[in-house]
Amino acid sequence: MSNEITNLFNIPTLSVEVDSIWLFKHNMGNNYYNSSILVKMIAIDCFYKKNDYGFNWYNKMQLKRVKDNPMIPKYMAYHENEFRDLIKSFEENGFDSKKPIILNKDFYIVDGTHRLALALYMGIKRISIKIDEKSYYLQSKDFSINWFKNNEMAYVEKEVIKKYNEVLKGELDE
């Protein structure tokens, strides 16, 4: 099965897209499994001056995520400027389908939560995805609310749940 799926994604002219909201809901599960997406959206709010704490939360989260996960390159711990540049790029160009979100065999995100957060934030309905041989068997890391609590960031819970509900209701642009 692995070879069949990864071969499908290797067809040069093939672009596989999914609904952004479906991918989000799937990766959140019933326990806010990938709350890091929501903290990134709170940082985007900070970029647009809707709060003054989003990038502080984002930076603290990134430091802890990188420390805990050997899969994340160490330079990602200090990624705020790159994230700001990505926000500007999305403003100008939208989602770049040539840089798909990388998933594992269970359709959990291995790489691309920043881009999914931006796609949702900017109302981009469909995004490109890819599963390759390298990502097929990788496990997605748990960044649920419990992860935040265990990493001395329990204070994000209320805003994360609020942002989650905003996403589901389509209220991000208000």
How many Å is the Cα radius of gyration of the chain? 16
Tens digit of each residue's pLDDT (9 = 90 or more) over 140-167: 889 999 999 999 999 999 999 999 999 9
Crossing angle of helices 36-47/54-68, nearest 10°?
A: 150
Q: What are phi and psi of 42, to 5 degrees?
A: -65, -35
* Dihedral pair phi/psi, residue 127, rounded to 5°: -135, 155
Higher-confidence residue of 126 and 132: namely 126
Has residue 111 got a pLDDT over 70?
yes
Q: What is the pLDDT of residues 15-69, one digit of tens each?
A: 889 999 999 999 999 899 999 999 999 999 999 999 999 999 999 999 888 877 6
Q: How far is CA 81 from CA 32, 63, 70, 99, 167, in A?
A: 26, 14, 22, 19, 25
b/e burial code for range 106-120 (CB count within 10 A of at least 16 → b):
eebbbbbbbbbbbbb
- Cα(120)–Cα(41) distance, integer angstroms: 9
